[in-house]
Each structure stands twice: as structure tokens, then as C-alpha cells.
Amino acid sequence: MFEITPLPAFKDNYIWLLTRGNDAYVVDPGDAAPVFAALEAAKLRLTGILITHHHADHQGGVAALVERYQPLVFAPASESITGCNRPLSGDETLDVLGVEVNVLAVPGHTLGHLAYRAPGVLFCGDTLFGAGCGRLFEGTPEQMTASLEAIAALPDDTLIFCAHEYTAMNLPFALAVEPENEEVQARKAAVTARRAAGLATVPLMLGEEKATNPFLRCDQPAVIAAARQHDPSLASTARGGERRAAVNPKKSQIFGAIRAWRNVF
């Protein structure tokens, strides 16, 4: 397996540096400067780049890195990515530094969004965050629900390398959705202590996300009840005969209501 090192960038991004011997890959280099610094400090050669989606904070550094190193650039075929020479659409299997990596299509945050899975780890870009998930800039609640379900189906001990340090910011909302969830309460205290000590909360542990992340819990009674409170169209009883009640709302409807509430929280 390759080694994985975070390269903090901008205010709260993580660029993931993958190394094996003297060869390196980076995931989502939004900025070239921290990548150049890390490569030069350890005398590494950049042989590849993995891009999850087209936003500037994930691909802004690609042009400068391509000019210096001419790496393979794997990226969503359907999105506009500088220097992409290995277009992907999901379901491909890659060789990354001698490790088998599976490509997953996870539309929602953007339509072409990809995640990259290596043994025990997932690089998910802006799809899943600590106690939260990416905004739906391009996709639908149905698409994001399916993408999150695909991630949730991985083993609970999967380490999730997302692209932003958002966990502390997201936990107050998770607690608003499920005030009685003791695991969310405990996680909020633990994350507050970690951040106060200057420590990262990423990688995430998938099992912990499944226990505390409201966007992975849209089938839970407490989350369904919270969604119904914030979206009258999901109310469990018809009101005054004017609205037909959604007796059994779909998981994607619950997700959509919780995501819409998060946007204004």
C-alpha cells in the first residue's frame, strides 16, 4: 500500500499525497505550492494526479504540476479538467503506485464527481464530510442519496479521506437533527478537543459516520421526524385536507429535506 499524507491548502482543504518509494500521486491539488514543497522536500517524482471533480479548489494546481512533471491526470470525463489525459466515468480499475484502485461514480455535488477506493481507504472529494456532505451544486437528492449509499456499503472500518476539514463546523447541525443521539454528542465534544489541540479530524472512520452523520441516517426515525418538521410536504398527517400526506417518504426525500435545512442552518 502507498503512504498517505495530508497537505493542507487554502483555509480548510486537504490535498492527499500518496507515496511509494520515490514516486508520488496527489489527489485534488487545488494549489500547486504545497505539492511542490512536499515533493521537493522528500525528493519525490509526481507520476500521477487523481481528480474528484472540477471545482477550482480541487484542480487549480494541476496546470503547474503538469508543466513540471507531466504526470498521468485521471479525472471525470464529463467535467472540464485542465490537463486530463486519463478520462474516467466510474467502474474503472486503476494501478496507482502498484495498488489496485477502483473508481466510483458519485454524482451529487457535481454530476461527474468520482471517488477513488484503495484497500481500506476512500478518497471521496466533496461527497461525504465529517458529520456532513457536499452541497448539491449540480445533482439531485436522488443521485446524492445513491452515491452516499454506495459509500455506506463499504466496510465500517474504511478510512474516508475527504477534501475539507469541516467536521467541527458540521456537528452543531448533526446535533440539531438528532439532539438525543449520544454518539453525536460525544463526537462533538471529542472533535472540539481535537481541533483545539490543532489536530485533524480526517480521515474519517466510515462506521462513525454511519452512527453520527445525519446524511447517512435518512432511514432513522429521529432523522425522518426532523425532516418532517422542516418540510411540511413530508408531514405524517394530512392537514385540513389540503395536502396529501407523504405517508412513507422516500429516503431521498428525507435527504433532500435535511440537505435543504442544512443550507439555511
Distance of alpha carbon 27 from alpha carbon 96, whole angstroms: 11
- As annotated, the active-site residues are 53, 55, 57-58, 109, 126, 164
Closest CB to Zn ion among 19 and 110?
110
Nearest distance, CB of residue 241 and Fe ion, angstroms = 45
Residue 28 interacts with which of Fe ion, Zn ion, none, CB < 5 to 8 Å by class: none
Residue 165 interacts with which of Fe ion, Zn ion, none, CB < 5 to 8 Å by class: none
Place of cell 499525497: 17
Question: Within 98-127, which residues bind Fe ion (CB under 5 A)?
Answer: 126
Size of the site for Fe ion (CB under 5 A): 2
Closest CB to Zn ion among 127 and 181?
127
Instruction: Spell 75-95 as b/e; 16+ CB within 10 A means b.
Output: bbebbebbbbebebebebebe
Nearest distance, CB of residue 58 and Fe ion, angstroms = 6
Residue 209 interacts with which of Zn ion, Fe ion, none, CB < 5 to 8 Å by class: none
Return the bridge partners of 18, or none: 4, 25
Distance of alpha carbon 252 from alpha carbon 215, whole angstroms: 10
Per rule CB under 5 A, is residue 57 in the interface with Fe ion? yes
10 Å CB burial of residue 133 (0-12, 13-18, 19+) is: buried
Interacting residues with Zn ion (CB under 5 A)? 55, 126
Q: What ranges make up the beta strands (E) of 28-175?
A: 45-50, 72-76, 86-88, 93-96, 99-105, 114-118, 121-125, 128-129, 132-133, 159-162
Nearest distance, CB of residue 216 and Fe ion, angstroms = 19
Nearest distance, CB of residue 1 and Zn ion, angstroms = 27
| C-alpha closest to that of 260 among 231, 232, 235, 236 | 231
Closest CB to Fe ion among 57 and 165?
57
Residue 178 interacts with which of Zn ion, Fe ion, none, CB < 5 to 8 Å by class: none
Closest CB to Zn ion among 80 and 229?
80
Distance of alpha carbon 33 from alpha carbon 23, whole angstroms: 18
Per CB under 5 A, residues contacting Fe ion are 57, 126
